[in-house]
A = this chain, B = another copy of it.
Amino acid sequence: MPKIGMEPVRRKALVDAAMRVIGDHGSLTVTMSEIAKQAGVSPALAHHYFGSKEQLLIETVRSHLQRLRDSVVTELGAAKTPREKLSAIIRVSFQADQFAPETIAAWLAFYAEAQRSEETRRFLVIYARRLRSNLLANLKALCPGEDAERVAEGAAAMIDGLYIRQSLRSAPISIEASIALTEDYINALLAPLSQKAAPSKGQIK
């Protein structure tokens, strides 16, 4: 079977497998064997390409955030006005695949891992900063800078909070409701600050 140029194929297969196994398992305490099995290769091969389990996990976070970033870039390009761009950012955050239980479980596991792995932490910090600054840039077009900072901080927190609450799977909130809550927050805070923004009247459920 051995053909040349397998490396990128295997790396991708292993990273994808890791994401799936972590999501199912809901934790980073997964074995290399499980991941390798899911990817259809031997554990030894995973070590061959990634050197260590930690490195494989780091690549997995990286790839996951990269995909998320791509979605944001695409959606932001399609949106015209700052307000539309804000909605686009929110929409991407709650995209169906992002909001799937396994994805959320994996996400959570990475946050926990970031407490120990400096490199994992760095990736998540980059994500958090990007979310905040994307929100901030567009909010600044709609209200004074100081207020924009607050609202960006609050909206980012709300998005992350809706995620983490989802992970408990008790009284799960729908994607639409999550989007509506975040939109409402922005509308409500913007209402008294801007001329054009209409008062909040979002629908939930």
By a beta-carbon cutoff of 8 Å, the part of chain A in contact with chain B is 25-27, 29, 105, 108-109, 111-116, 121, 124-125, 128-129, 149-150, 153-154, 156-165, 167-171, 173, 177, 181, 184-185, 188-189, 191-192, 199-200, 204
A158 surroundings in chain B (CB, below 8 A): 154, 157-158, 161, 185
B108 and A115 within 8 A (CB): yes
B159 and A112 within 8 A (CB): no
CB distance from A65 to the nearest CB of B (A): 13
Number of copies: 2
A105 surroundings in chain B (CB, below 8 A): 115
A113 surroundings in chain B (CB, below 8 A): 27
A125 and B181 within 8 A (CB): no
Nearest B residue (CB) for A186 = B188
A165 and B154 within 8 A (CB): no
A170 and B29 within 8 A (CB): no
The answer, among B111, B162, B163, for a CB contact under 8 Å with A167, is B111
A156 surroundings in chain B (CB, below 8 A): 161, 165
B112 and A27 within 8 A (CB): yes
The answer, among B164, B170, B192, for a CB contact under 8 Å with A111, is B164
B170 and A128 within 8 A (CB): yes
A27 surroundings in chain B (CB, below 8 A): 112-113, 115-116
Say yes or no: A26-B165 contact (C-beta < 8 A), given A189-B188, A199-B192.
no
A160 and B150 within 8 A (CB): no
When chains A and B are docked, how far (Å) is the Cα of A173 from the Cα of B29? 30
A204 and B26 within 8 A (CB): no
CB distance from A162 to the nearest CB of B (A): 5
A25 surroundings in chain B (CB, below 8 A): 115-116
Contacts A114-B167, A149-B204, A156-B165 known; list 14 others, CB within 8 Å.
Answer: A25-B116, A26-B116, A27-B115, A111-B112, A150-B181, A154-B158, A157-B161, A160-B160, A160-B161, A160-B165, A161-B161, A163-B164, A164-B164, A185-B189
